[in-house]
């Protein structure tokens, strides 16, 4: 199996190192990742200036762009093989619920899916780099083999979240739905010493709705969450209602 690994925490993040090491035991792995942290860039693609890629070692490239850029460059230019699978992660911090729309980690898997390559993103629900990535890496390798053997539904990729607890305490994986965040008090509005206002987004620890069967519900109870995400964002159930409007 030929595997492209990327992330949004940067080429030197411990999560991507653990992931690549685990996947190297089951296939031929190449790493193409941002040269620095690119968290919360979502599906951004660099269009207005050239990208630079540096080969740090055989099969290991650093790119001054986004995770989506890395997938594009890896597949279309940098690698000497066409990947059978793209794995993004292991992200420092969970990517649960609505956070998938912000996540560069998840977007990298989405980009691969757009290109017709099976993909999944994997995140560890930790708050700092002291988290143990071993259990998440081992599960990623196991899942990679399952994806290779069974394939994925059309236009579908997987979003995996692993609880940050000792591996022997992690409960069985659950297939889940995407959860929902509680959006309350997320912006700090203050004045700097020179009298100018400034704002800081994302400083609060936001909570999630505890929805049965959701990714948050699984991870908060010690399970690995595996959520199938789909490229088609159309709300098909609303089409009939909208056709009843006087739009045209």
Element (H, E) at 229: strand 223-230
| CA distances to 164, 235, 238, 241 from 245, in Å | 48, 16, 11, 7
**Cis omega (within 30 of 0) on the bond before 90?**
yes
Compute the distance between CA of residue 182 and CA of residue 114 in angstroms, rounded to an integer.
30
With a CB cutoff of 8 Å and minimum separation 6, the contacts of 199 are 187, 188, 189
Whether the CB-CB separation of 8 and 108 falls below 8 Å is answered with: yes
Tokens (6 digits) for 66: 């986004």
Q: What is the pTM of this model?
A: 0.93
Q: What is the CATH number of domain 2-180+209-243?
A: 3.40.1210.10
- For the chain (248 residues), the mean pLDDT of every run of 10, in chain order, is 97 97 98 95 94 96 97 96 97 94 96 97 84 92 98 97 94 95 78 92 73 94 97 93 86
What is the structure's pLDDT at 200?
Answer: 85
Domain extent listing, the chain: 2-180+209-243
What is the structure's pLDDT at 207?
Answer: 78
Whether the CB-CB separation of 157 and 147 falls below 8 Å is answered with: no
Q: Residue 1: name the closest of 32, 28, 36, 34 by CA.
A: 28
Tokens (6 digits) for 162: 């692993």
Whether the CB-CB separation of 60 and 30 falls below 8 Å is answered with: yes
What is the structure's pLDDT at 129?
Answer: 64
What is the structure's pLDDT at 201?
Answer: 80
Phi then psi for residue 193, to 5 deg, are -60, -20
Compute the distance between CA of residue 176 and CA of residue 184 in angstroms, rounded to an integer.
24
What is the structure's pLDDT at 158?
Answer: 98
């Amino acid at each position: 199996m030929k595997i492209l690994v990327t992330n949004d925490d940067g080429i030197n993040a411990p999560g991507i190192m653990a992931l690549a090491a685990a996947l190297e035991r089951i296939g031929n792995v190449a790493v193409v990742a941002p040269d620095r942290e690119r968290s919360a860039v979502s599906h951004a693609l660099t269009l207005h200036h050239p990208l630079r890629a540096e080969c740090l070692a055989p099969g290991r490239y650093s790119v001054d762009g986004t995770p989506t850029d890395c997938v594009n460059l890896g597949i279309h230019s940098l690698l000497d093989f066409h990947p059978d699978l793209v794995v993004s992660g292991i992200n420092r911090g969970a990517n649960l619920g609505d956070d998938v729309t912000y996540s560069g980690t998840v977007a990298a898997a989405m980009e691969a899916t757009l290109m017709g390559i099976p993909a999944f993103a994997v995140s560890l629900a930790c708050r700092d780099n002291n988290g143990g990535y071993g259990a998440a890496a081992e599960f990623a390798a196991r899942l990679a083999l399952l994806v290779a053997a069974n394939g994925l539904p059309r236009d579908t990729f997987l979003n995996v979240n692993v609880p940050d607890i000792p591996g022997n305490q992690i409960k069985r994986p659950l297939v889940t739905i995407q959860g929902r965040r509680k959006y309350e008090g997320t912006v700090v509005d203050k004045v700097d010493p020179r009298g100018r206002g400034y704002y800081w987004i994302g400083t609060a620890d936001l909570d999630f709705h505890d929805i049965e069967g959701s990714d948050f519900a699984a991870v908060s109870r010690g399970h690995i969450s595996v959520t199938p995400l789909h490229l088609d964002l159309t709300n098909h159930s609303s089409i009939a209602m909208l056709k009843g409007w006087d739009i045209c």
